[in-house]
Structure 1
Amino acid sequence: MTSAHRIESNAQLAAALRAFADRVVAPLAARPAHEQSWAGDAIRQACREGLGGMEVPADQGGLGLPFQARIEAAQLLAAVDFGFAFGFINHHNAVLRIAESGTDAARAKYVPAMLRGELIGCTAMTEDGAGSDFAAIRMTATRVDGGWELNGAKQWIANVQGCEVALVFAQTDAAQGAAGIACFIVRLDVPQCRRIVDRPMDGIAMGGVGGFELSGYIAADSDMLYAPGSGFKQAMAGVNKARVHVAAMASGMLRSALSQASAHAAARMVFGQPVLNQQGLRWSLVDVSMVDGILQMLIDRAAALIASGSEDAVEAAAMAKLYAGNETLDAIAACIQALGARGMAHGEGLTRKLLAAKALCLADGSNEIMRDRLGVTLSQRYARSHLQARSTPPTVTGTVTGAGTQATDQFRAVFITKPEGGSHQAELRTLGQADLPDGEVLVRVSHSTMNYKDALAITGRSPVVRKYPMVPGIDFAGVVERSADPRFQPGDAVLLNGWGTGELYWGGLSQYATTRADWLIRQPEGMSAEQAMSIGTAGYTAMLCVMALQSHGLTPESGPVLVTGANGGVGSIAIALLSHLGFMVTASTGRMEEAPHLQALGASAVMDRQALSAQGKPLQKENWAGAVDAVGSHTLANVLATMRYGGVVAACGLAQGMDLPASVAPFILRGVSLIGVDSVYAPMPRRQTAWDRLAKELPAEVLAGNTRLIGLSEVIPLAGELLAGKVRGRVVVDVNR
């Protein structure tokens, strides 16, 4: 019997696993498909023989080997059976996570027993409806005395058909999104857990894939593996390695199938000569060998980059996984073809490999997700030299390089990065024109703004940024420097807001920006760039709200109008616009000391937001004919409950929350209308109308008294203050200051 202390190298482990696979796994794989099931007993036996815990530190009883050992183990085990390899590696990963990040109590309780095979583990991330979209998980964890109560279901989990321990990722606060995810060590062999094995997986039966449901499970504090705020990051930290070991499993299957097909074709005689002599078949197997060789190079490259800690490991792992998913299925099919009808026979095992090859297209990120992952950095990786060669470097006054010399193609920008598995970081960085994403129009930005969404993006407190790296800034104004669209010429004064700018596409907190021509509008006549950004997305949204109220027949004669979130950008300009149009406006704010400022904007009355922010009755006293709400949650519910008959509410924000704890009573008993106002994707004619009206209807003195002007270097420090509600009105950023 092999023991852990006798295995001191990758080669020794590989030899021991190969012998184990031939002796134990191969007979299981040879069984008919309907007789195959989770290979838990075989995983336990491998652990008893000292083959588990490849990367677990030696001082905790593991083998203490490098990541390459996992790759080689995955490759050689998958050559015999992908399902077994999948289950075995997943057990190993669970032990490793506890050994690396568990509390002392958790390590003592679980690691030795898992290394001995007495407890088998799994990692439970995915759910129905939340596979690749991991941040959307619905498993909840609620704080209770001494621990956490878990409720919810997981699906598509390896080893779950019989394992005892699961690392369960759960949401502790849905309002926090990804930042609320934590991870707990959970025992599945308890009454609070119900196994769900109603969807057996063809081709990978030995992996024991299934699901489970937890109801009222209490995880002790000592069994919290990753605390809220780090759970998502830690989950993603293991993704690169997982993608590479899954690609290695594909390589192992492919190499086994190629060996089998080549041996058969060399021995099978047709027309007096081996089938392998037939050029068409021989070439098809050559193509398979090319796939195998390329996949191995991609795996080796990704593994080396992971070992060195390189940032390029993210793309390299995705490439290896994508190539495996794209090519292995067809390559194994070609091997089946080489065997003819015999290739479909159960005893050959190739159809099982074919199904497993399809499964790997989904495991640890589907092919589509891998393409998206690689697409995020496509322009940075390949377009720079092309853009550098074709572009005429713009002149940026006052931009200085680190060496202190003028650099005409360099500019400053707020730059947000988040390496996969790393931490969110925002910094003021000097970039080159070649760093800009591709776009039809190049704009020399003069002014941008600081909005609530920008502050969330900069601080990382909410997953606003959906692609990294990112330049935040949901709006900007400036002058066209270069355009591939005839609608815009160099020198045209333009502005942009919405369309995912600062979230999906680089934004305006930068001295230069590229964008689509369809997203730009011309600055209204007589409006400067600074004035445009004093209005900004917030003021534009406020005008959309006013237009929505008016389109539903609201007039000053209808009665008083309420504006919530009054000190914010939307609220303050909504007050000014409505007051200018003759409406009697009441402002709701959490900072009553700002009442004089709100009254100067045109508010006839100011009320404390506490009257609206707590849970209220479904129907209350009829107060308002109309309302602009930028707060959401209980505030919006109370606004609806206090509307007059036939009243109308324009909702555009969620400062208090995304939920709406209201009833249908205001709608069916008072005929109240609730209008959703979207500023991000509003049609261009509506945008132009809003901006043209702002140029005519928003008093200039309102902009002057409601605007704070800062420089680009002041943006990052101000983000926290803005989120804390310490900033009133509009913040305009002069990007050249």
Structure 2
Amino acid sequence: MNRIDTDIADVGALAEALRAYIEDEVRPELAGLNGEHAWSGPWVRRACELGLAGIEIPRSMGGLGLPFAGRVAAARTLASLDFGFAFSFINHHSAMVRIAEDANAQARATYLPPMLRGELIGCTAMSEPGAGSDFSAIRMQARKTPQGWLLNGEKQWVANVHGGEIALVFAQTDEQRGAAGIACFIVRLDDPAVCTRILDQPLDGLEGAGVGGFRLHDYLAAESDMLYAPGDGFRQAMAGVNKARVHVAAMACGLMHAALEQAVRHTASRVAFGQPVLNQQGLRWSLVDAATQHDILIRLTEAATRHIEADDDQAMEAAATAKLHAGEHCLPAIAQCMQAMGARGLTQAESLSRKLLAAKALCLADGSNEMMRERIATTLVQRYMPSFRHSARTDAARTKDGGTAEFAAIHLTKDGEGRTRAELRTLTPDALPEGEVLVKVSHSTLNYKDALAITGSSPVVRSFPMVPGIDFVGTVERSADPRYQVGDAVLLNGWGVGEAHWGGLAGYASVRADWLIPLPHGMSPAHAMAIGTAGYTAMLCVMALQAHGVAPGAGPVLVTGANGGVGSIAIALLARAGHLVTASTGRREEEPHLRALGASAIMDRNLLSNAGKPLQKENWAAAVDCVGSHTLANVLAGTRYGGVVAACGLAQGMDLPATVAPFILRGVSLIGIDSVQAPRERRLQAWQRLARDLPADVLDSNTRTVSLPDALALAPELLAGKIRGRVVVQID
């Protein structure tokens, strides 16, 4: 077979060319292997030589320039022959696409041409021992040096490891940054001095995928071989997941189609009791059921492909639905085909047993069936909850002349290079996402997480476009929930608004009724937002300490991160309750302010921020920690016998380099405080206490009120630590 003409014009022509390659070269070779074969790399290399591998690579770079539907068609076509071959081919292709789209010019010129020719076979290395689906927990380390990046660690469950030469390796550059520290590097696997392949866990029936692992020991990656910089690696990895789920579903289509062809061909030609076996109603119906599931999966895969190509908000849900259907129905459909063929279905020549193993493997590849259900569950509310749009109540969001009221909003989008773009836009309520309650927002706040979202400094935003603002207060203008009437004053904290759902830095917000609570009686909107999520979190900490028996006379209470929103309000609440409060801060010039809030003593945060002894002098009866990492470890080590520490932040880091000594030798209790998903009753109690225990004048010196445009400009300053206390945003 000669090299394919690279002028393949469409997806159909690509599928025909792949089928010709299979029939002319691969199937005859596979038939001679008695149903067993090793890594499919040689077949992938040959497909590259024929010009069939560069499906989505632009023509200007030597590829075919086809849309994502081309990858889907290739996955389906190749899987009809062998799932492992398809998996190997698609993984090589996906690695090339990432390099073509995101590598710098030097790396692209070095790696892409030989990969297109099949001289270098690629793969993507994400999973690790102990960190499969939990991608943010990876331990492959990348350390910056003057010569480049030193990589050390192990990867597992990687396709094409058996003979491939290139891997896109995701690694952690800074554990304290968590997901924001993950980067990706182009790594050569063919240097045994720095890369050891681990091939001791072969997968039955999937040998063709060449799945295995590797260990890097002081591998030096040049700066030009960094594919994704720290902070971008996690986002880019997640961005590829939807595509992966769809091409895996397409492979399931190929498996099911091939099994049905075999079963129908056999049962239509085999005669029993004077007629073809296919004429038996029970058997025929079982194949009809399998064919129906196959056809449904084709439709789901096609729909998901369209959503991905359109890059719309339904792509995640559509990809997860197709992948879930594949995981749920591919295996039973192939089993029905085997049953229909009787003993012949078990023979190596028919290869249905291998298809069964492949069908089980695809239940796990790129997310288990359980994970797919969780992904789909995140959209259930949007799709099925009652919406204020369908309520028969008076639409107070309409102007007197019948037009729709316009409002300002901080609007976040992504540009073509994946960077966050924040701007002030004018929207209408029709632009808002579905929700049970429409709230006219009067005040919101600018929090640290909002600043991260606006500047794009960390991937806190989970979908775009987005309106930031993790809390707000306002009045109900429309409601599909009987608990809330037009004109009710309400407030909201947490629940993922500003990250996964549009938030409060806008004139209107559309949210679930369960996320709202009534504004406490006698509390003004401005006072509520001066307290905000920070003050609400501080009250949850104080409530936790009191619930564990910490009384005012028990001894001093330490508050770390004292100048922050949570820390400053925690000081005020504890002092007003009669506690002696020690404030830990790195800004000694703020001592007068902290003492005005109620702090009895001030300590330098540097005394807590470095590694310390497992047990230290018993200083604190209790503590509120907003910092984490070494600071929290030292707080625990210095807490008195029977003391209590409430942990609510990770400003220094999310690690906890501590020992069990404070817990088992002093009986110290560590209480975790979550404000985002806290139950409604606890929220109501916290806000009722805030209305009672924290008068508005206590926060006057700690609060700054700005406009919506000002909030946009202040975000970088907040991240730089140049803003003290609370920033209230008056929307109107």
TM-score when normalising by structure 1: 0.86
1:451 counterpart = 2:447:
yes
The aligned residue for residue 598 of structure 1 is: 594
Partners of 2:317 and 2:48 in 1: CA distance: 33
Q: 1:544 aligns with which of 540, 545, 549?
A: 540
1:609 counterpart = 2:605:
yes
Partners of 1:447 and 1:377 in 2: CA distance: 28
Partners of 2:603 and 2:628 in 1: CA distance: 17
Moved more, 462-471 or 266-275: 462-471
Aligned ranges for residues 15-414 of structure 1 at < 5 Å? 15-27=16-28, 29-30=30-31, 35-57=36-58, 62=63, 67-189=68-190, 190-300=192-302, 302-303=304-305, 317-377=319-379, 387-396=388-397, 407=403, 413-414=409-410
Percent identical among aligned pairs is 64
The aligned residue for residue 563 of structure 1 is: 559
Q: Is the 8 A contact 1:29 1:80 kept in 2?
A: no
The aligned residue for residue 636 of structure 1 is: 632
In the superposition, relative to structure 1, how do residues 662 and 15 fare at CA in structure 2: closer, same or farther (>3 Å)? closer
Partners of 1:547 and 1:277 in 2: CA distance: 72
Moved more, 206-215 or 278-287: 278-287
**Alpha-carbon offset, residue 216 of structure 1:** 2.5
Partners of 2:618 and 2:291 in 1: CA distance: 77
The aligned residue for residue 432 of structure 1 is: 429
In the superposition, relative to structure 1, how do residues 592 and 514 fare at CA in structure 2: closer, same or farther (>3 Å)? same
**Alpha-carbon offset, residue 129 of structure 1:** 4.3
Q: Which amino acid aligns with 1:125?
A: M
Q: Is the 8 A contact 1:182 1:229 kept in 2?
A: yes
Unaligned runs of 5+ in 1: none
Q: Which amino acid aligns with 1:432?
A: P
1:694 counterpart = 2:690:
yes
The aligned residue for residue 2 of structure 2 is: 2
Q: What is the CA RMSD across the aligned residues, in angstroms?
A: 3.8
Q: Is the 8 A contact 1:442 1:482 kept in 2?
A: yes
Q: Is the 8 A contact 1:5 1:63 kept in 2?
A: no
Q: 1:707 aligns with which of 703, 706, 709?
A: 703
Number of residue pairs the alignment of both structures matches: 729
In the superposition, relative to structure 1, how do residues 396 and 23 fare at CA in structure 2: closer, same or farther (>3 Å)? closer
Q: Is the 8 A contact 1:29 1:81 kept in 2?
A: no
Q: Which amino acid aligns with 2:172?
A: Q
DSSP 3-state at the match of 1:346: coil
In the superposition, relative to structure 1, how do residues 374 and 729 fare at CA in structure 2: closer, same or farther (>3 Å)? same
DSSP 3-state at the match of 2:526: helix
In the superposition, relative to structure 1, how do residues 8 and 616 fare at CA in structure 2: closer, same or farther (>3 Å)? same
Q: Which amino acid aligns with 2:82?
A: D
Partners of 2:60 and 2:481 in 1: CA distance: 65
DSSP 3-state at the match of 2:81: coil
Partners of 2:536 and 2:312 in 1: CA distance: 43
Partners of 1:521 and 1:8 in 2: CA distance: 59
CA offset digits 1:627-653 (Å, max 9, x no partner): 332222233334444555665443322
DSSP 3-state at the match of 2:215: strand
CA offset digits 1:329-358 (Å, max 9, x no partner): 343333334323432333222232233233
In the superposition, relative to structure 1, how do residues 180 and 244 fare at CA in structure 2: closer, same or farther (>3 Å)? same
In the superposition, relative to structure 1, how do residues 125 and 373 fare at CA in structure 2: closer, same or farther (>3 Å)? same
Q: Which amino acid aligns with 1:338?
A: A
Partners of 1:79 and 1:685 in 2: CA distance: 55
In the superposition, relative to structure 1, how do residues 25 and 514 fare at CA in structure 2: closer, same or farther (>3 Å)? same
CA offset digits 1:534-588 (Å, max 9, x no partner): 2222223323333444455545544444332222222222222233334443433
Partners of 1:265 and 1:396 in 2: CA distance: 65
Partners of 2:142 and 2:34 in 1: CA distance: 38
Q: Which amino acid aligns with 1:253?
A: L
**Alpha-carbon offset, residue 122 of structure 1:** 1.4
Moved more, 281-290 or 171-180: 281-290
Partners of 2:682 and 2:70 in 1: CA distance: 60
Partners of 1:178 and 1:539 in 2: CA distance: 27
Q: Which amino acid aligns with 1:564?
A: T
Partners of 2:342 and 2:25 in 1: CA distance: 29
CA offset digits 1:589-628 (Å, max 9, x no partner): 3333333322322334444433433344445565544433
Partners of 1:684 and 1:414 in 2: CA distance: 28
Q: Is the 8 A contact 2:137 2:178 kept in 1?
A: yes
DSSP 3-state at the match of 2:98: helix
Q: Is the 8 A contact 2:391 2:479 kept in 1?
A: no
DSSP 3-state at the match of 1:347: coil
Moved more, 60-69 or 170-179: 60-69
In the superposition, relative to structure 1, how do residues 496 and 223 fare at CA in structure 2: closer, same or farther (>3 Å)? closer
Q: Is the 8 A contact 1:233 1:421 kept in 2?
A: no
In the superposition, relative to structure 1, how do residues 365 and 352 fare at CA in structure 2: closer, same or farther (>3 Å)? same
Q: Which amino acid aligns with 1:217?
A: Y
Q: Which amino acid aligns with 1:260?
A: Q
Partners of 1:683 and 1:293 in 2: CA distance: 43
Q: 1:658 aligns with which of 654, 674, 678?
A: 654
**Alpha-carbon offset, residue 16 of structure 1:** 4.9
DSSP 3-state at the match of 1:732: strand
CA offset digits 1:134-162 (Å, max 9, x no partner): 33322221112312121222222111122
